Structure 1
């Protein structure tokens, strides 16, 4: 039996929708027990957050892994609190996509743009960020391309640097854009419950 494609997995998963705080929140439960949650901006349909978790070999729920959006447990700075100052100068790596690109931001990198090199490593299916001053190194893959088994293309990769933030963009291939449009149509058909009205459908 051929492996199910990603869009088919998404379509066959059990989905629950919730409309809350101007966002469409979707929970996916896949047949293998793994889960995914996504949050979309209701006005722009942009994906703000995606988290995934797998079941362990013993069937226990694993930890949520953040794929898109702010990392879990990121320190929230409040005006009164001076407590969480110690590591706010460490680089923070966050994925925030746009309609047409996958995008990653690395904050707290106060070096000139010519220090950075960003490249595609096709054999390892990943992107590598390096600095010539050896201050930062990051290797990461694009889960969306891996799930759809699409190749990495170095011509789709660009980067800029401004306000101590490195912004790496990877232009979404047409297969991904089509998949996202198809998925969004499906999600908009879901009857989303609103705040306080929890959807408890029986199987």
Structure 2
């Protein structure tokens, strides 16, 4: 039971505030080269029930964890890069939970919304997470201000990157659960940004421990055989 409690805390990016630095994400001892193997995160991935679907150049892996959570990851087989990570958490009353996206484009809402009062303004900033081989990225659209307007600071206490503007028009904390799960610090030296076409791109260079883990985990996932090969000309509805 204790292990499940730790697992839930480690997965919840919204709870990585100031208390994150006091949590223990390692179990036992490990060599410095592969310390990630002794983290709760890596052990939970190994222990999870996994299934796989292959769709042309994309492989989708479904994880079912001991604490009841579910996760789906999508990988590009050519680049070996994870394109999407989504989580499903059961409802508080035990009902069917909703999927939330951690990495990748948001899942379109199939439920029509006819209430004009709660429709978001098209000009509001929109944040999308991206993952590349060497970087973690956030793309914030509808940011028309020049690059010198933005302040982008690493905050290791809250395990996030803080984006703000000198004109006080925008403030956002970009949490980095990948670092929290491995017990790694958030360092300013790994942060940089670009701005073009009203889009602010915030980049965090992946530390070596994360690069090593992702490379090894992709190899580990190849042991999960696809339960079905989906023809490339077959479209999923």
TM range (shorter): 0.7 to 0.9
Q: Does 1:55 align with 2:90?
A: yes
**In the alignment, which of 163, 182, 188 is matched to residue 154 of structure 1?**
188
Counterpart in the other structure of 2:31 = none
**Change beyond 3 A, Cα 1:21–1:137:** farther
* SS of 2:59 mapped into structure 1: strand
Written as runs of structure 1 = structure 2, the 5 A alignment for 1:113-124 is: 113-124=147-158
Structure 1 residue 125 displacement after superposition: 1.7
8 Å CA contact retained: 1:53, 1:61: no
**In the alignment, which of 37, 42, 50 is matched to residue 77 of structure 2?**
42
* SS of 1:124 mapped into structure 2: coil
Structure 1 residue 60 displacement after superposition: 3.9
**Change beyond 3 A, Cα 1:32–1:178:** same
Counterpart in the other structure of 1:10 = 45
Counterpart in the other structure of 1:163 = 197
Structure ranking higher in helix proportion: 2
Rounded Cα–Cα distance in structure 2 between residues aligned with 1:45 and 1:88: 34
Deviates more, 1:6-15 or 1:186-195: 186-195
Instruction: State the TM-score, normalized to the length of structure 2.
Output: 0.72
Written as runs of structure 1 = structure 2, the 5 A alignment for 1:35-184 is: 35-56=70-91, 58-73=93-108, 87-184=121-218
The alignment yields a C-alpha RMSD, in angstroms, of 2.2
Counterpart in the other structure of 1:81 = none
Counterpart in the other structure of 2:64 = 29
8 Å CA contact retained: 1:106, 1:167: yes
* SS of 1:96 mapped into structure 2: strand
**Change beyond 3 A, Cα 1:43–1:105:** same
Q: Can you give the 5+ residue segments of structure 1 that lack an aligned partner in the other structure? A: 76-84, 197-203
Rounded Cα–Cα distance in structure 1 between residues aligned with 2:56 and 2:197: 29
